[in-house]
A = this chain, B = another copy of it.
Amino acid sequence: MKLSRADLDHLPERQRAAFINCLSGYKSANLIGTVSATGQTNLAIVSSVVHLGANPPLLAFISRPPSVDRHTLEYLTDTGYFTINHVHADMVEAAHQTSARYERDVSEFAAVGLSAEFSALHPAPYVAESRLRIGLKVRETRPIELNGTVMVIGEIIEILMADDTVPDDGFIDLSRMDTVTIGGLDGYYRVEPLVRLSYAKPDRPPRKLS
């Protein structure tokens, strides 16, 4: 089928929003951990974390408009730090539940049954149950004027991982940790390795690495 922009704009609002949320492809599944200046911890599932660059090591995510109460954006701005925690298959329901609109004095950690863990390097809480956790210092929060969202850019200052080492080729197979991926607004998916391919060169086809 072919949809023009007019066709898209004529869909009922919820159907349209859910549909558009499917179009970017699979999304990363992460919990963002923050703490307020007064020590209130906060946890929020986010599907927009992306790799921004390796040198310096930067990750970014998109926060929805701050016109309503956005504890995550407020707290990471106040304290200067946040954590990114991978979501695995056995944590999906708890992680999803963090998207409920809890009052300011409720910690999502306690509300959904996940445990906060702290680092000596920064104040933001990690999710103890996550097998890959990243501590970041806020480098930039830049408003996107087109729709009022905010792009948060963090620089990696610490990595906590269930694995014992970083493999020689640097590749971490996230499917071994049972990390999930997200489709649309509410679909969670398991993942299975298909193929790894060698660095592409113009004069030859890609070679399978595994």
Contacts and interface: CB of A to CB of B under 8 A. Distances in A.
Chain A interface secondary structure, helix, strand, loop or mixed?
mixed
Contacts of A168: 15
A190 B194 contact: yes
A59 B23 contact: yes
> Copy number of this protein in the oligomer?
2
Chain A contact patch, size range: 35 or more
A170 B22 contact: yes
Interface string A181-205: 1011111111111111111111001
A76 interface: no
A172 B22 contact: yes
A49 B26 contact: no
B56 A147 contact: yes
A48 to B, nearest CB: 5
Most chain B Cβ neighbours within 10 Å, of A158, A166, A188, A189: A189
A51 B27 contact: yes
Contact of A190 (B17, B97, B159, B191): B191
Nearest to A100: B200
Contacts of A14: 170
Interface in A132-160: 132, 134, 139-140, 144, 146-147, 149, 151, 153, 156-160
A171 B149 contact: no
Contact of A189 (B21, B99, B149, B193): B193
A59 B149 CA distance: 12
Interface string A1-44: 11111001001001111111111111111100000000000000
Interface of A: 1-5, 8, 11, 14-30, 47-59, 62, 84, 86, 89, 92-93, 96-103, 106, 111, 121, 132, 134, 139-140, 144, 146-147, 149, 151, 153, 156-161, 163-166, 168-175, 179-181, 183-202, 205-206, 209
